[in-house]
A and B are shown apart, each in its own frame.
Chain A
Amino acid sequence: NAGVTQTPKFRVLKTGQSMTLLCAQDMNHEYMYWYRQDPGMGLRLIHYSVGEGTTAKGEVPDGYNVSRLKKQNFLLGLESAAPSQTSVYFCASIMGGGATNTGELFFGEGSRLTVL
């Protein structure tokens, strides 16, 4: 099992450009999440999905869009990148509901995005 895989791992964009981050998980997890990590601010939730075809806003959704067309994939899009979106982005997944589920998040290795 590869777990949670994020691509690309590094990207440099110019202000106004668009891009998509791809997250893929092979654990058949129901829930998937996109977080951003900034120094001194921990992880902040951007968007999440509780199942194929569903998405919901997190704490800091502005400037981002997401799609979950397939259960194993969760895409994060930036339509018009801004310098404030320079960050490290993490995708994570959780198995889903059930009495034995402890809610442990499984993380990808991160995608470092710089917007100039």
Chain B
Amino acid sequence: GEDVEQSLFLSVREGDSSVINCTYTDSSSTYLYWYKQEPGAGLQLLTYIFSNMDMKQDQRLTVLLNKKDKHLSLRIADTQTGDSAIYFCAESTGFKTIFGAGTRLFVKA
């Protein structure tokens, strides 16, 4: 079945870059997503990439997709304390979206 895996924790210093990695199993996914969850809130879409793209850049965010290795990464440049949150990788398969376990990003001032 479909599966999405990502590491559970990442700690960086303020101003450094953060890189969160994810692997997925369903090669037929049309879109891959990064969602952000702040404490006590629901998830919000941060960015997404279409499966025929290799890279997408959106201000401080860079998404890289390696379809051969089924690997997705999210780079946050100049990480700020406000970026502290849980980041979920997800893939869309038909009617369903499958999520990874989430990576909790800690940003040290």
Contacts and interface: CB of A to CB of B under 8 A. Distances in A.
Q: How large is the interface on B (under 10, 10 to 19, 20 to 34, 35 or more residues)?
A: 20 to 34
B101 A105 contact: no
A40 B97 contact: no
14 contacts: A33-B97, A35-B99, A40-B101, A43-B99, A45-B96, A45-B97, A50-B95, A102-B48, A103-B92, A104-B48, A107-B42, A107-B43, A109-B42, A110-B41
A98 interface: no
Interface in B54-108: 88, 92, 95-102
Given A33-B96, A56-B95, 14 more contacts: A4-B42, A42-B88, A42-B100, A48-B95, A90-B43, A92-B42, A102-B48, A103-B30, A104-B33, A104-B45, A104-B48, A107-B43, A107-B44, A110-B40
Given A40-B8, A43-B88, A90-B42, A48 B96 contact: yes
A41 B101 contact: yes
Main secondary structure of the interface of B (DSSP, over half): strand
B48 A42 contact: no
Interface of A: 4, 31, 33, 35, 40-45, 48, 50, 56, 58, 90, 92, 102-105, 107-110
B100 to A, nearest CB: 5
Main secondary structure of the interface of A (DSSP, over half): strand
Residue from A56, A105, A109 whose CB has the most chain B CB atoms within 10 Å: A105
Contacts of B88: 42-43
A103 B101 contact: no
Contacts of A44: 99
B43 A105 contact: yes
A28 B99 CA distance: 24
